């Protein structure tokens, strides 16, 4: 709900459990509350007793660079006469249902800002962003463009996702110290090093305590800064990374900040994740029919051809695969990563009859067909590059650095956009393709410039061009499912999820490493978009097949193993595990996720998925090697159940209360040879539980 309290000059934005309050104080907008919903309106009205030693401002709703504002700057401009001081004064507001628009105006310089808020009452989420309008006849130089938040605590922890290629989305819990801590990306994409997720807590754990959390939507350079100073509340700025940022707003132009979604819970990290998951599922993602895919990349690499793909397709269909995907190597002179990127015609040496016979076969086998592309890139050894050396991003006076032997196309240019849209349109209209894996395998290092007046805007224009291309393709081919990939998990954020239905989580498909990566991922994003494959990454023998499956079943399952290397008997195990997954996948896709940390058993990782009506769930239990691996019976407690329901687990009945308070005994399956068990044995088990009716 959104209300304006006239007398108090306050905007009260509230959800079922949270409130966010903005006040007009001397024509400046200040944030006076963000947290648990209180009882009365007057609960939010601060009794302001300013410390007499403090003469600075801190909690501006948009932390602009006004001279007395000591909080980290979220909005900064350079006016044509050299003035940098902002005087953004409140003008008026409009409320339409669950939306609020507030107008701020720097009258002298003709700059108008509209702050937009949208409240999702039962989802406990608020979305905000703003638009800067130049209504003067001079240019306005925008130097910082971010959103601000204030967390009403003096001490706390900053929780974020860090990583690198092959090791994305590791959760970090860090005490907030004095000063500014910044995470972000400068590589032109969302990036591997950090993900635009944050949460702040004042001593929460998985199930209890206050957590303020949010996600930023931008698939280019972004940063999230956390600022702490004595006496003041924790300040957050989240938006475009100010590194190499400068946006010149000409008269009558406008620019939008990235969107920030945020929320609060007093039920710990677990609940904060469930709130984000459910919001993303309900309000960002399209409803699609998710398929279990087979991708031949780890089996055949670049060496794809009609016959080896047909053979894999046959095996894939036998084990129950629903979508067969050909990865890199099907086009141009693409025999390795040194050549061919950019030449999007079918390689006739590998597919002499085109893709039709393979697609026909895949369809006959009852599967859909999907394909890999990397449209924004080019190998210098390609026809495209030879024809258009001027289509590359970079500076004319500087050498262009190749990474993975490739350069980045300047998709801001109209002809480059058209080239990509045209070849994708041909590919998708001439072939029965229902899935695209869209890759981006190198960072943008030499950004170059579009024109000399506004060279730094390239970082924004690139990403906007990328969204534009995807938008056109999505409209033309609404039935095609898109997966966002950037050398693994380098392009995962809530803005790309408006275009892509799912993401490639990481190139690292080691099932144990994946538990760490996927656990971090689950702080921010739901499991239905988290692609996870069973592969032979660490060799067939290192991890039991069941463990590899269970790790991948925590998300949207895919298979990447070389099926040619498995016996009939082993392929039967694949089939059975895929059947198991089909039985439970709706709970994994749509259910509430509980990360069950058992303090007594540090070697166990447990992920529980529970249907919204709490009538059915599934728990994945992993035992990872530690020094003491001699135990194989554990007492496991579940979470989130209905206390008075009776649940059945392996033919035994329990009340929800007893499962949550006391737990149940669980033993890993006896197909593991405990006597000869080596330290490196990785065990796992799926436990299903269901409401028992009519007892
Ligand atoms: C990237 C992707 C992989 C694969 C290769 C193909 O690394 O993340 O999954 O598609 O490119 O070159």
What pLDDT, in 10s, does the model give residues 28-86?
999 999 999 999 999 998 766 666 677 788 999 999 998 889 999 999 999 999 999 99
DSSP H or E segment with residue 559: strand 556-559
- d(CA 230, CA 328) in angstroms, rounded, equals 53
CB crowding 269-295: b at 16 or more within 10 Å, else e? bbbbbbbbbbbbbeebbeeeebbbbbb
CA of 488 to the centre of ligand 1 (A): 7
Q: Are residues 197 and 150 in the same domain?
A: yes
Closest CA to 545 of 531, 565, 517: 565
DSSP letter, residue 74: S
Contact 441, 374 (CB under 8 A): yes
Among residues 590, 624, 646, which one ends one of the domains? 590
Q: How far lies 28's CA from each of 25, 47, 52, 58, 532, in Å?
A: 5, 18, 20, 12, 48
Q: Are residues 544 and 479 in the same domain?
A: yes
Residue whose CA lies nearest to ligand 1 atom number 2 = 487
Q: Are residues 558 and 639 in the same domain?
A: no
Q: Is the residue at 280 inside a domain?
A: no
pLDDT at 629: 56
Q: Are residues 570 and 655 in the same domain?
A: no
Mutate to test the pocket of ligand 1, among 341, 485, 502, 508 (most ligand atoms within 8 A of CB): 485
- d(CA 75, CA 662) in angstroms, rounded, equals 52
Backbone angle region of 387, left / alpha / beta, with phi > 0 → left and psi within -120 to 50 → alpha:
alpha
As given in the structure block, the two tokens for residue 644 are 């008075």
Q: Are residues 482 and 618 in the same domain?
A: no
Q: Are residues 242 and 325 in the same domain?
A: no
Q: List the domain range (segments joined by +) for residue 137.
A: 2-274
- d(CA 189, CA 660) in angstroms, rounded, equals 42
Mean pLDDT in the chain? Answer: 94
Q: What is the sign, positive or negative, of the torsion defined by CA atoms of 508, 510, 511, 514? A: negative
pLDDT at 603: 83
Q: Are residues 386 and 305 in the same domain?
A: yes
CA of 485 to the centre of ligand 1 (A): 8
Q: Are residues 378 and 490 in the same domain?
A: yes
DSSP-assigned letters across all residues of 458-527:
HHHHHHHHHHHHHHHHHHH-TT-EEEE-BTTBSS-STTGGGT-SEEE--S---HHHHHHHHHHHHHHS-G
Among residues 562, 590, 618, which one ends one of the domains? 590
Atom of ligand 1 nearest to the CA of 487: 8
Q: What is the sign, positive or negative, of the torsion defined by CA atoms of 186, 192, 196, 198? A: negative
Q: Are residues 579 and 615 in the same domain?
A: no
Closest CA to 341 of 394, 404, 396: 404
- d(CA 503, CA 522) in angstroms, rounded, equals 13
CA of 439 to the centre of ligand 1 (A): 7
In the three-class reduction of DSSP (H, G, I as helix; E, B as strand; rest coil), residue 271 is classed as helix
**CB-based contacts of 565-573 (< 8 A; 24+ apart in sequence):** 565/536, 565/540, 566/540, 570/545, 571/315, 571/318, 571/319, 573/545, 573/546
pLDDT at 479: 98
The reply to whether 439 belongs to the active site is: yes
- Cβ neighbors of 84 (< 8 A, separation 6 or more) are 65, 76, 77, 78
Q: Is the residue at 219 inside a domain?
A: yes
Q: Are residues 606 and 578 in the same domain?
A: no
Supply the CATH number for residue 650's domain: 2.60.40.1180
Q: What is the CA radius of gyration of the chain?
A: 27
Mutate to test the pocket of ligand 1, among 190, 294, 327, 379 (most ligand atoms within 8 A of CB): 327
In the three-class reduction of DSSP (H, G, I as helix; E, B as strand; rest coil), residue 555 is classed as coil
Atom of ligand 1 nearest to the CA of 488: 8
Q: Measure the CA dihedral 586/124/258/471, to 10°.
A: 30
In the three-class reduction of DSSP (H, G, I as helix; E, B as strand; rest coil), residue 121 is classed as helix
Residue whose CA lies nearest to ligand 1 atom number 1 = 487
Q: What are phi and psi of 464, to 5 degrees?
A: -65, -40
- d(CA 456, CA 535) in angstroms, rounded, equals 42
DSSP H or E segment with residue 660: helix 656-661
Tell me how crowded residue 676 is: count the other CB atoms within 10 A of its CB. Answer: 7
pLDDT at 623: 87
Entry field: residues in the chain: 695
Contact 439, 373 (CB under 8 A): yes
As given in the structure block, the two tokens for residue 441 are 């395998």
Q: How far lies 368's CA from each of 293, 347, 510, in Å?
A: 9, 21, 26
- d(CA 607, CA 596) in angstroms, rounded, equals 6
Statement: the pTM of the whole predicted model exceeds 0.95: yes
CA of 15 to the centre of ligand 1 (A): 41
Residue whose CA lies nearest to ligand 1 atom number 12 = 328
Atom of ligand 1 nearest to the CA of 504: 8
pLDDT at 538: 84
DSSP-assigned letters across all residues of 176-234:
--SEEEEEE--SSSS-SSEEEEEEEESS--SSSB-EEEEEEE-SSSEEEEEEE-TTS-E
Among residues 590, 617, 635, which one ends one of the domains? 590
The reply to whether 673 belongs to the active site is: no
Atom of ligand 1 nearest to the CA of 486: 8
Q: Is 235 exposed, middle or buried (0-12, 13-18, 19+ CB in 10 A)?
A: buried
Supply the CATH number for residue 177's domain: 2.70.98.60
Q: What are phi and psi of 420, to 5 degrees?
A: -65, -45
Residue positions in the annotated binding site for substrate? 165, 327-328, 404, 437-441, 485, 507
pLDDT at 626: 65
Supply the CATH number for residue 423's domain: 3.20.20.70
Q: Is the residue at 556 inside a domain?
A: yes
pLDDT at 50: 67
Q: Is the residue at 288 inside a domain?
A: no
Pocket of ligand 1 (CB under 6 A): 297, 327-328, 372, 439, 441, 485, 487-488, 504, 507
- d(CA 487, CA 330) in angstroms, rounded, equals 18
Atom of ligand 1 nearest to the CA of 507: 8
Contact 128, 215 (CB under 8 A): no
Atom of ligand 1 nearest to the CA of 327: 10
Q: Measure the CA dihedral 648/578/546/661, to 10°.
A: -20
Structural domains in the chain (count): 3
Q: Are residues 446 and 522 in the same domain?
A: yes
Closest CA to 380 of 394, 397, 362: 394
Contact 606, 620 (CB under 8 A): yes
Q: Is the residue at 284 inside a domain?
A: no
DSSP letter, residue 284: I
Atom of ligand 1 nearest to the CA of 485: 8
Pairing of strands 293-295, 556-559: parallel
Q: What angle do CA 404, 410, 416 make, to 5 degrees?
A: 110
Tell me how crowded residue 614 is: count the other CB atoms within 10 A of its CB. Answer: 17
Q: Is the residue at 287 inside a domain?
A: no
In the three-class reduction of DSSP (H, G, I as helix; E, B as strand; rest coil), residue 307 is classed as helix
CA of 345 to the centre of ligand 1 (A): 19
DSSP letter, residue 279: H
Contact 303, 297 (CB under 8 A): no
CA of 576 to the centre of ligand 1 (A): 28
> Which segments of the chain have a pLDDT < 70?
47-52, 449-453, 626-631, 670-680
Q: Are residues 409 and 541 in the same domain?
A: yes
Q: Is the residue at 24 inside a domain?
A: yes
Q: What are phi and psi of 685, to 5 degrees?
A: -155, 150
Q: What are phi and psi of 135, to 5 degrees?
A: -110, 20
Residue whose CA lies nearest to ligand 1 atom number 11 = 487
Of 201, 461, 493, 507, which one is the catalytic site residue? 507
Residue positions in the annotated binding site? 165, 327-328, 404, 437-441, 485, 507
Of 439, 461, 493, 592, which one is the catalytic site residue? 439
CA of 493 to the centre of ligand 1 (A): 19
Mutate to test the pocket of ligand 1, among 164, 168, 192, 328 (most ligand atoms within 8 A of CB): 328
- d(CA 589, CA 556) in angstroms, rounded, equals 7
CA of 417 to the centre of ligand 1 (A): 22
DSSP letter, residue 401: P
CA of 619 to the centre of ligand 1 (A): 31
């Amino acid at each position: 709900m959104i209300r304006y309290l006239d007398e108090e000059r306050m905007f009260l934005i509230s959800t079922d459990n949270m409130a966010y309050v903005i006040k007009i104080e001397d024509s400046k907008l200040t944030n006076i509350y963000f947290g648990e919903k209180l009882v009365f309106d007057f609960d939010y009205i601060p009794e302001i007793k300013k410390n007499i030693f403090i003469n600075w401002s801190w909690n501006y709703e948009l932390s602009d660079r006004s001279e007395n504002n000591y909080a980290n700057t979220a909005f900064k401009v350079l006016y044509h006469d050299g003035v940098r001081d902002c005087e953004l004064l409140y003008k008026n507001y409009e409320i339409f249902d669950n939306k609020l628009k507030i107008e701020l105006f720097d009258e002298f310089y003709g700059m108008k800002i509209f702050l937009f808020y949208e409240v999702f009452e039962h989802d406990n989420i608020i979305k905000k962003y703003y638009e800067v309008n130049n209504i003067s006849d001079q240019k306005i130089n925008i130097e910082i463009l971010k959103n601000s938040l204030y967390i009403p605590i003096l001490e706390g922890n900053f929780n974020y996702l860090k990583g690198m290629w092959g090791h994305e989305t590791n959760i970090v819990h860090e005490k907030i110290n004095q000063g500014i801590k910044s995470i972000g990306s400068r590589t032109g994409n969302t990036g591997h090093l950090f993900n635009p997720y944050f949460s702040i807590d004042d001593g929460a754990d998985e199930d209890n305590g206050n957590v303020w959390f949010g996600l930023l939507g931008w698939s280019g350079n972004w940063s999230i800064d956390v600022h702490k100073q004595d006496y003041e509340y924790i300040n957050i700025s989240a938006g475009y990374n100010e590194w190499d940022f400068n946006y010149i707003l000409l008269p009558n132009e406008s620019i939008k900040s990235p969107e920030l979604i945020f929320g609060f819970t007093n039920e710990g990290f677990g609940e904060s994740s469930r709130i984000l998951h459910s919001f993303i599922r309900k309000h960002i993602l399209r409803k699609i029919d998710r398929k279990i895919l087979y991708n031949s990349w780890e089996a055949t690499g670049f060496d794809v051809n009609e016959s080896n793909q047909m053979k894999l397709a046959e095996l894939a269909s036998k084990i129950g695969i629903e979508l067969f995907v050909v990865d890199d190597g099907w086009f141009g002179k693409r025999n390795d990563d040194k050549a061919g990127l950019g030449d999007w015609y079918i390689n006739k040496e590998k597919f002499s009859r085109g893709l039709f016979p393979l697609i026909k076969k895949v369809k006959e086998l009852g599967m859909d067909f999907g394909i890999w592309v990397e449209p924004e890139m080019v190998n210098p050894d390609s026809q495209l590059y030879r024809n258009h050396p001027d289509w590359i991003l970079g500076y004319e006076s500087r050498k262009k650095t190749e990474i993975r032997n490739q350069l980045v196309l300047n998709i801001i240019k109209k002809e480059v956009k058209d080239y990509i849209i045209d070849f994708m349109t041909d590919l998708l209209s001439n072939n029965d393709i229902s899935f695209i894996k869209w890759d981006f395998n190198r960072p943008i290092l030499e950004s170059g410039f579009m024109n000399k007046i506004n060279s730094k805007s390239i970082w924004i224009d690139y990403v906007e061009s990328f969204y534009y291309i995807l938008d056109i393709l999505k409209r033309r081919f609404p039935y095609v499912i898109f997966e966002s990939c950037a050398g693994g998990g380098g392009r995962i954020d809530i803005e790309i999820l408006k275009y892509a239905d799912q993401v490639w989580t990481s190139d690292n498909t080691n099932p144990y490493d994946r538990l760490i990566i996927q656990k971090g991922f689950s702080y921010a994003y739901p499991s239905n978009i988290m692609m996870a494959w069973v592969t032979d990454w660490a060799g067939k023998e290192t991890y039991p097949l069941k463990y590899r499956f269970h790790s991948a079943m925590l998300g949207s399952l895919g298979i990447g193993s070389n099926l040619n290397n498995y016996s009939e008997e082993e392929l039967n195990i694949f089939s059975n595990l895929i059947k198991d997954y089909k039985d439970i996948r709706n709970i994994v896709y749509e259910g509430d996720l509980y990360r069950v940390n058992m303090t007594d058993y540090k070697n166990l990782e447990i992920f529980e998925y529970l249907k919204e009506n709490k009538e059915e769930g599934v728990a994945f239990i992993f035992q990872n090697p530690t020094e003491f691996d001699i135990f194989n019976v554990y007492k496991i407690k579940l979470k989130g159940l209905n206390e008075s329901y009776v649940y059945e687990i392996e033919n035994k009945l329990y009340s929800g209360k007893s499962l949550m308070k006391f737990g149940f005994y669980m033993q890993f399956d006896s197909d593991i040879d405990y006597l000869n068990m080596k330290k490196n044995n990785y065990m796992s088990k799926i436990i299903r539980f269901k409401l028992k009716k009519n007892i």
